[in-house]
A and B are shown apart, each in its own frame.
Chain A
Amino acid sequence: MTTRTAPSAATTTPRRAGLRKLLFTETRLYLREPLTAFFTIGLPLGLLLVLGSAIPGFRDPDPALGGERIVDGQLPAMMILLSAMTSAFSVMPAVLAVYRERGVLRRLSVTPASPAALLATQLLLNLATTVVAAILTVVGGHLVLGTRLPGQVPWFVLVFLLGVTALFAIGLAVAAVVPNSRVAGGLGAVVMFPMLFLAGMWLPRDLMPEFLRRISDFTPAGAFGQALRDSWGGATPQALHVAVIVAWALAADVFAARAFRWE
């Protein structure tokens, strides 16, 4: 049953102090689950540093990548994707599904704060985690492994923000359709692993057969990963990839806004 009992932003003016406290409280709860921060920040950074230093070939110019070193663009870009997708597809939908099934969202809807504020808080918190993970990946990789810093910083930042927006919009769409928290975890994984594969997590896009790379071009993670690598290497990302990312972000947002249930 789709119930539209959620308040619209126009009818509620929750106090700012309340919103600050909500963000503070949600952050506290987030940190009380140490595994979450491990999977979203620790694991991507750890994989980058361990793989980057343990596998010698990763630090040599790779002819298959056009002479680029794997640690310079491919590996850190994939780790940023891994972190963003873990937050967007696994952490956030699970928390929102729990909040919905346990009536936390409904409970908030009878106070001057709205459940939309809690949703916004969760988005903000998970976005912040992704940003922290990305900064640590870029800076940590540079300091420890001597990886290249992003060459096209404005494009890199723009692509990062657009890509993360698209992934989180899809995460919200997942949270909108799952009936409970158990399904949220499963569906998140079902979305995440094929996407990671198509983005080139296990097989870099440069090594993919033509048809697979074509498919990858039109997936949010494939387009995001390639655009991130391009701007990292100093090139301007392809218009196709930017357009694909924006299209996914819009489509998923519209879907999530229509389908999201508060109770």
Chain B
Amino acid sequence: MGIIEITGLRKLYGRQVAVDDVSFTVEEGEIFGVVGSNGAGKTTTVECVSGLRAADGGTITVTGLDPRRDRAELRRRVGVQLQDCSLPDKLKVGEALDLYASFYDRPADWRELMEDVGLGPKRNTAFAKLSGGQRQRLSIALALVGAPRVAILDELTTGLDPRSRRETWELIEHVRARGVTIILVTHFMEEAERLCDRLAVIDEGRVAAIGTPADLVARVDGGQRVTFRAVSGADDVLRALPEVSGVVRDGDTMTVTGKEGLLLAVTSALAAAGLVPMDLRTERATLDDAFLSLTGHAATDAS
């Protein structure tokens, strides 16, 4: 039994189906990614999980609670960081954390949390004067100030520069170390690959795949790639191998694609045939490639 169980979730906006038959289970303590391109239904899915929206079909339990029926209790157990939510301009960092901590019966120590997210020196800085990365870290701290068992983080690093993004990722890894279960919504595959233990790829309101990032990458046809300087006679030798799914010759370069164990198979077959591959390189598919092959389009094309 996972800490979050979603079965056959369905949500309509008017007649338009936003989410259709989405099911997945999140285990306690993991970082679970919900990935997809903009408008795929990621946010709608987590809004149903956080009780912000009522599902039109299916069941959701979060720490054993129904997000709509047990909303009051759910809000004490689940911390949420929403997209496009800000604070009043003149509210200071320390005041915001103190205020949000006061909503909970057993909050985290907000001063400690403020230090943990690196905002200690900004305690008396007004929200309007914070940088994008600092605002995002404050937003994460606010989602955690109630000492939740589950944190839902939606499009955490959108609009951040690469450095702030990396800092935010490190922060999320620290949060996991506290034992908080995290649902991370993102359309950055690099982020999902770096942070998530498992993830669900959502496409056009449906689950396209669920697995660990490595699982999803391994499912890509031609997930492994070996290139070397072309030598004559190699084509036939390689095509005969069960690990190889494709051999392409582009001028001087030969690219061989295939599944796990490709490199070993290619080098031993070439050695056995007395051929010496020069400039041998191996590449592995990324989650971006996996996303492309699962959905037929890139994750970030819309943004």
Residues on A facing B (Cβ under 8 Å): 5, 7, 11-15, 17-18, 20-22, 25, 28-29, 32-33, 98-99, 102-104, 106-107, 109-113
Contacts and interface: CB of A to CB of B under 8 A. Distances in A.
Most buried by B among A11, A22, A104: A11
B99 A110 contact: no
B contact patch SS = loop
B11 to A, nearest CB: 13
Contacts of A29: 88, 90-91
Interface of B: 50-53, 71-72, 75-76, 78, 80, 82, 84-88, 90-91, 95, 98-100, 102-105, 142, 146
Contacts of A25: 91, 95, 99
A11 B52 contact: no
Given A28-B95, A112-B76, 20 more contacts: A5-B52, A11-B71, A15-B104, A18-B102, A18-B104, A21-B99, A22-B99, A99-B88, A104-B86, A106-B85, A107-B85, A107-B87, A107-B142, A110-B50, A110-B75, A111-B75, A111-B103, A111-B146, A112-B72, A113-B103
A111 B90 contact: no
A204 to B, nearest CB: 40
A103 B86 CA distance: 6
A33 B99 CA distance: 20
Given A5-B53, A29-B90, A106-B85, A112 B99 contact: no
25 contacts: A5-B53, A12-B71, A12-B75, A14-B103, A17-B102, A18-B99, A18-B102, A20-B102, A21-B102, A29-B90, A29-B91, A32-B90, A99-B88, A103-B82, A103-B85, A104-B88, A107-B142, A110-B50, A110-B80, A111-B100, A111-B146, A112-B75, A112-B76, A112-B103, A113-B103
Contacts of A107: 82, 85, 87, 142
B84 to A, nearest CB: 6
A115 to B, nearest CB: 12
Contacts of A32: 90
Nearest to A17: B102
B4 to A, nearest CB: 15
B72 A15 contact: no
Contacts of B103: 14-15, 18, 111-113
Contacts of A33: 90
B146 A112 contact: yes
A71 B45 CA distance: 63
A37 to B, nearest CB: 14
Given A25-B91, A104-B85, A104-B86, A15 B105 contact: yes
A89 to B, nearest CB: 21
A21 B98 contact: yes
A12 B72 contact: yes
Nearest to A24: B99
A110 B82 CA distance: 9
A107 B91 CA distance: 15
The 5 closest A-B pairs by CB, nearest first: A103-B85, A110-B80, A21-B102, A107-B85, A18-B103
Contacts of A113: 103
A18 B103 CA distance: 5
Nearest to B51: A110
A242 B6 CA distance: 56
Most buried by A among B80, B98, B102, B142: B102
A104 B76 CA distance: 18
Contacts of A102: 85-88
A126 B24 CA distance: 47
Contacts of B75: 12, 110-112
Contacts of A103: 82, 84-86
B52 A110 contact: yes
A67 to B, nearest CB: 50
Contacts of B95: 25, 28
Given A29-B90, A103-B86, A109 B52 contact: yes
A196 B95 CA distance: 38
A112 B106 CA distance: 12
A236 B72 CA distance: 48
Nearest to B50: A110
A15 B87 contact: no
A106 B87 CA distance: 11
Nearest to B13: A1
A102 B51 CA distance: 20
A109 B78 CA distance: 12
Contacts of B85: 102-104, 106-107
A29 B88 CA distance: 8
A182 B95 CA distance: 27
Nearest to A107: B85
Contacts of B51: 110
A89 B213 CA distance: 54
A17 B127 CA distance: 23
Contacts of A18: 99, 102-104
Nearest to A10: B72
